[in-house]
Amino acid sequence: MSIRFASQNIDFELPQAEKVKKWVSQVVQLRGKRVGNISYLFCDDEHLLGVNQQFLNHDTYTDIITFDYVVADLISGDIMISVDRVGENAEKFGVPFEQELHRVVIHGVLHLLGQGDKSDTEAAEMRRQEEEALALWNTMFPVEQMC
């Protein structure tokens, strides 16, 4: 079982990839589940738009698409993330790129764990769980204090 990262159509390497793997694994395990095969593909807006059109019949840009292959408590799936959209959203929300990237990375996992975001109530719960996971990141990997 594994968590893998790749990119397509862009020159992108996930910062702190090993830490992200540990963090994602911890989020899954804290919910009483097991990590199966989770693959992340980082791409540009146009690639993700094409996937959105082809597989979901949506003609819109998005930051993430998650394909769920979960079986019982084994969490598996393909998560595709537009690095372009993550950058734009980081600017829009006034947060660092890496923070927004972590939010989107965990958003896909939360979908695999069963959290929806279609209704206002589901979206609010998704946001709460994202914030909880981001707080866990900060606990697992505290920023070193400068003297």
Q: How confident is the model at residue 9 (pLDDT cuts 50, 70, 90)?
A: confident
Mean of the pLDDT values across residues 101-114? 98
Q: Is residue 142 part of a domain?
A: no
Mean pLDDT across the stretch 71-96? Answer: 97
Instruction: Extract the runs of DSSP E, i.e. beta strands, from the chain.
Output: 2-7, 34-43, 64-68, 74-82
Domain containing 26 — which CATH number?
3.40.390.30
Task: Give the position of tokens 């990590």.
Answer: 35
Number of domains present in the structure of the chain: 1
- Residue 57: predicted pLDDT: 86
In contact, 64 and 40? CB cutoff 8 Å = no
What is the extent of the structural domain holding 52?
Answer: 2-137
d(CA 101, CA 138): 14
pTM, 2 dp? 0.94
- Mean pLDDT over each residue of the chain, to the nearest integer: 95
